[in-house]
Structure 1
Amino acid sequence: MAGLKPEEAASQPEPSTVSTKKPTLDLASHEMFPTLGAAHGTATLSILMQALVRPSGITQVFQMPYEHQRRREGPNLAELCQQIGRETDTVIDASRSGQTQVCTFVIKGTTEGEIMAARRKIWSRLAETATIALDVPEECLGLVIGPQGRKIAALMSDTSTRITVHRPYSGQVSIAGDFEGISLAKQYIEALIHDKLNKMSSSFKLERHLIPFVFECSTSGRITPTIRDFAAKHTVKILTDLKDPELATLAFSGNRANVVAAMRELEERTEKVRKTIKTVSTQVPKPLHRFLVGPKAETLYALEEETGCYISVPPPDNPSDSITVYGKDDALLKGVRGILDKTSAVDSQVVHANEQIKSLLIHQSRSLIRDLEKKYSVHIHQSDAGFVLDGKKAEVMVSVMELKGAIEALSAYQFERISVDAEYIKHVIGKQGHNLQQIEAEFGVEIIITERESENVVIAGTSPQVISAAKEHITKKIANLADLRVAEVHVDSKFHGALIGAKGTNIKKTRERYPSILITFEKDSVRLQGPSKEVAEAQCEILKEAETIRHDAIMHSYSGNIALTPETFSAATNSDGKIVRSLSNFARDHGIRNLEVDSRTLTFQGLKKDVESFKVSVVQFLQKIADRGSEIIQVEPEFHGALIGKNGKNAKHFAQKYDITLVLPTSTEEVKSDIKIVGPRSNFQEAIAEIHEFIAYEKSHRHRETITVPNYAVPAILGRKGAVISSLRFDTDTNIDLNKDHDREENYTMTFEGTLEGIETAKKLVAELVDNCKVSETISPGTEKFKLLTGIGNAAFRALITKYEALEIGISTVPSKEEFVIRGKRKVLPSAIKELSELFSTEFMTETVDIPTRFHGEIMGRGGANVQRIRTTFSVSIHFPKKENPADTLVTVEGAIENVKLAKAELLHYVREPQVVPVSLEDRQEIVAAVTKKFPNLKVQGKPNGIQILGDAGELEKALAFVKDMEATLKASTQIMTVPLQYHGAIIGRSGMNLEKVKGETGCSIFVPKRDENSDQVKLRGTPKAIEDARQVIAQMVSRLSSADA
């Protein structure tokens, strides 16, 4: 219902107790006439995969108290709800309270219209009815009824009520229906009455010349905009009628108070202006008026603005020479003087030319007149004597000379007049002058068509022969036109459409075959006009075509019909009861004609085989259409583009998968977040679920954060050909943009868009890239400190370089600028700079240590490893004297004071005299091996008089103590056994095998004296048990050898 908009919030009545008494109607009762409305649609979010959110429709809940319910037999509540749901394309759930008998209805639909339609049907079929009388002033009755009763009919349809206007009219209308319908109709009618009674229309008449002064506009050309501003100021509508040259009518309409205020102000202004405005008239020749007005009245408006007067110039059709000036006393003289100044320098002259020359000049050089007017600002018009030129004197003189020259150029032309009947003139001219142009081009003549009754065609040319030939051609053509014939072919109007064809294709072909025939369609006939022969041929062709159409209509007259269910009837017809276009196209494709719907029966005609086939296929087609519907889902506008996809990719996906179409809001009146889904209802649930998932995915990926990164980090973030930033986007599933920061040119802005987790991960990775990217820093400590670090402090500087090389920090010098350059990872760089800065404040020294040359090699170590260790450990430089000067024993140490002292002490550890310890020959080898093993840093050698130990003083003392302890131990575990010399070799055995065997069996070491010692004493060393076992073994060996000798 147009204009019927219930309020937003639905007010629900309190549950009422069961009562069998029929209630009386109380119009003031909020319970009987509650405030109507629709509940807000609720959006449900369903995240099933990686997706996005979409609200799926509108839901409204309302209650019907028991006392409003109708007591009647019929379908139960569930069946009724299902039936209404099918009719309104909604889902209705209903429940009844066992205690109060209150019915609660839950309606789900896609649009407000569907929800309200379902609600109205529930009230109209379940609620008790009543009748009320409503006061309607007679002047408002027409507004309620509407043109031809359409408005009141729509109101009754939308509210399911019956509104009766009694005759003779008594000032009241009756409204009958259910409680809610009555309330809706009552509210709507009262709103119309209120609007009608609160409006006012009135008119105000005002002298034309006072309008510019009343509305305070500078010129008469500004009247309309000024009136529009006055209307906007008072919020009214003003229509201006300026047809009367003397009196203007202003029609006011709008709110009563606004109209009264506007008219009161206009009356006050008018009275004030009438007292001050005077008038004066002056005479100016009529031809000069146009110079005063100027093109588009610009000259007149400029003069009015300059003088402050309103100047009234008679219209062109008024022969009066009088010009009236309106204004205040001090402005009237200025206005008159301005008029005289504009017209005093104007002249008017006549250029004589006969009628034939005038016609030829205009026909041949029509643009010449316009060019002269534009070039010289003159006005040229025709008169009986020739041409009249008006304008400034100098310009008129020049234009007269040019016009006379053009007329003289035409003096060589000769003229011939012929008479042509008016009915043939259009044939001589042809369509868009085609025939006339063809004759002129063929014969080289000018043909002028005049308005005279006789001799109305003038032929102009420079040669009599050419003129004669053109005249003969036209005469012959007219003679042929005399053969014109008019014929009518009887063809029923119902067949005219078939003769014309779709978009006129059939009749266009006929007209192309017979271009000289005029074909028109009249009631039950076709009229042909043209040459007799062509008319006869066209007549036969159209008769033949009409007969074919009649025969085809008879062949296609076989009829069939099918009964339509409520669902298929809704699918086959639109809201006006007309057949939907898709069904018409389907029928046409199957050869069906005359498709009609009446009383839920579909009737159709065509060939028998087509009709029988159509009976089967149309049912399936209508069921398919019935399944189609629409549903509104809520999608935030910022996600509409993503839902459609690039080049409609996502929309095509939904169309292919679910056979649905997504319709975006286009009108400003539509809800911007509404998206309509159109297609098979059976696919809606899955499609909406997938849309929800898609929107949820998009929403989760729409988080946005921005950080700034320094310029030097940009190459590391981008990587080669964008490989690094592309990897970041892929790994974190985040859209990353890098842009120049215009506020701070040393920075770039990075924008992250995606999930919160992805953004955080991407930010951490970018932070790592920034920290790990290589930057450089230049330090200029000054000449003194530079030389210090490159001189005696070089060792500490080199140690610092070595330390940070492992952390990928490079420290170098620029001797030419006496600068240090530090380059490497950003996060490590501050630490390196700090330590380098600390070196600048460190005190350095150089000291020499006297170390005998024999110790230099040991200090250096193999390949210089030992001295390099000392240098690295103490961050000092150590310089040894050159080999060419062996007498030089001074070793130089450079570095920090504390480090030099430590390094010097370390060097002095290597300066020591060797110690010789007397050790018996039999113990020497064992002691040397033991000392070497326990003290690897000492140098141990066997000497004839004992063992020599060389090394660190501290370790040397420990080694000497170890040797003494070992000697004592060896003496305590040694016994002497006397063995004759001749048996020593047998005891030793071949290559010492017997000694090794005894040692292995007993664990006792056996020392046999050398031959040159000439001693028979054999030493046994080990534990007492081992010694005893070895003694017994040796004794047995000697005993056997003695027996063998004996």
Structure 2
Amino acid sequence: MQAAVMEESNVETVEQTTTNNKQEHGQLEQPSSPTSVATPTSTNSGNTSNATPTFSYDDLFPALPANTAAPISSNAAPPCVRVTTTQKTQVLHVTGEERKTTESDKFGEGESKRICQQISKDTGAQIEIAGGKNQSLTFLIKGKQSEILDARRRILMHFSTQASKLVSIPKEHHRVILGKRGDRLRELERVTATRINIPSQTEESDNITISGTKEGIEKAEQEIRQLSAEQYKKCSDRTSVPKVYHPFIVGPNNENLTKLMEETGAKINVPPQSVQKDEIVISGEKDAVANAKAKVEAIYKEMEKKCSTVSVEVAKSQHRYVIGPKGSTLADILRITGVSVEMPPTDSPLETITLRGPQVALGNALTVVYQKANSVKSVEIEAPNWTHKYVIGRKGANMRQLEEECPNVNVFCLDDKIKLEGDPERVDQATIYINDIVRNYLDHYTYVVMTVNPSYYKHIIGKAGANVNRLKDELKVNINIEEDQNNIRIEGPKDGVQQAQLELQEKIDKLENEKSKDVIIDRRLHRSIIGTKGEKIRELKDRYRQVTITIPSPQENTDIVKLRGPKEDVDKCHKDLLKLVKEIQESSHIIEVPIFKQFHKFVIGKGGANIKKIRDETQTKIDLPAEGDTNEVIVITGKKENVLEAKERIQKIQNELSDIVSEEVQIAPKFYNSIIGTGGKLISAIMEECGGVSIKFPTSDSKSDKVCFRCKAYIRPFLLIY
């Protein structure tokens, strides 16, 4: 069976001459007349006494008389010229049997389309791909001849089953196959769409490895052997034998050819069936070549006299049963009856099969062909694609039962069909079985496809799939989200599918009425928004129950707070949230109050009474340094007016206990470092010399130039003098 068949045609050719196109491109092919299956006709090329008179092409179409008209005048129009283009079109067909992979790709989509686009980019050729129901692939390739050959080779490497073969060629002939700088080898690889590995000069091996499709390997081997045969020069010869007589020379499974080579000692290279060449190359010793050539020509002459032909019409789908696995059935027919069966190309729509052989054997061969064609029955059952998994059954249960009841019946799931092949009786039985399953699911099951915005998927699925799993369990349906097509597919019992669709549609309608809003809030305020034990955020959520408020965790390191819910509620919640943030910001005014360490206990009061009273009455947060900490600063946080009040009350406690005065002196910030000194040594010395005065400089971000001095009242005059 051919792995791939190539058709070629020139495109955009402008013919402006009136010359006979057939005279330029070869002899006209005479169409063969169709023959009825019921009454096959035969012609005996060796017996012409009862044959109908035949006419040659020249008899039917005599040549026109010579042109004797006067010469064309000098002012006549110049002769027309033919304008052609270098662009060509080729069709490459890869059968289902020879296809590397059989997964269901839809006419060039998915991985197949991506591969073709890459090949087109690399080679410059335009490629279109189409798939057949029998898993075959057809490629339309357009471009220059060199681009087409390169693209064809790459396509076959990716899509056709690759095989390899070792061909023994004398070492001294390898350089001829390589050609100058390897040009001949590269051209051979392009033309045959194969990969050819020739051993290096340092290796002693004669074997050349050819990898590719079956057809490509055959073509490459033919060309390599032909190149090798030509190197024998004085001991090689050629003879032209019509292609239709090659099977009689080769014999079933090469039996005749092997015998001829053993008897003569010559190498006989007959082109494989897929290569349309008549020439047979014979190489070896002179006597052996002459002997082999004589025997080959004798077989040809004998079969030419004895052979008759008969043509029959057989459904295209049954041809492969006549051919058999790897052509085994054709070989068996040739061995048993001595008749060659000629099949049309696999990609041809023709259904005519021609039998060629002795007249007395044609009847028996015809019977065998009919038997083989009808030995297997093929049936296609209409079954929508979604029913295929139910036909197969859970974990293949239905298929196992079918195999037990109808053994040796092959089942193929196509697009919207199921194909059965096998023994006619068992195929009929399997057809009833599968039809019952399909009809049952068509009657009770259905499916719907809903187009959904992908942003809704996570809300429809629910946390850990809770929403979808509930519908599956309660309604006994399958729900699949087809993300690449923005679809949700619901499949199962009709009532369940209808109910699931209603619930999902209700959810989708609700989501379509919702909106999402991102609110940027300084992450340092997030804890304040949540409040103690979540009190503040809980209050906001209770007020807007249909709004989802998502505050990022500290690890997320983001300022974005997300709101989602009904549009109106989200807008209101957004306003209240910003109001809360403003209140928190206003309540976050901070003042540091330096209080002598010995007075902290009086600020706290007995049992914390004083500090608690100040906190409650001023609604502020007051933080004092730990007991063992030498820091004297008390930090007050809250609304500005409340913070100032708390500060005043704390300072009042200190002033009542000690004659302490405060003084603010305006000093330009540029002098701060000079006053403080290295490591704060200078300012520490000043404070010590002045009897323990406290000097506090404003922070760098306060934009203040006032330095605060605190000390005993009697020290103040000396401080000012200093």
Same fold (TM over 0.5): no
TM (norm. structure 2) is 0.32
Structure with larger Rg: 1
TM (norm. structure 1) is 0.24
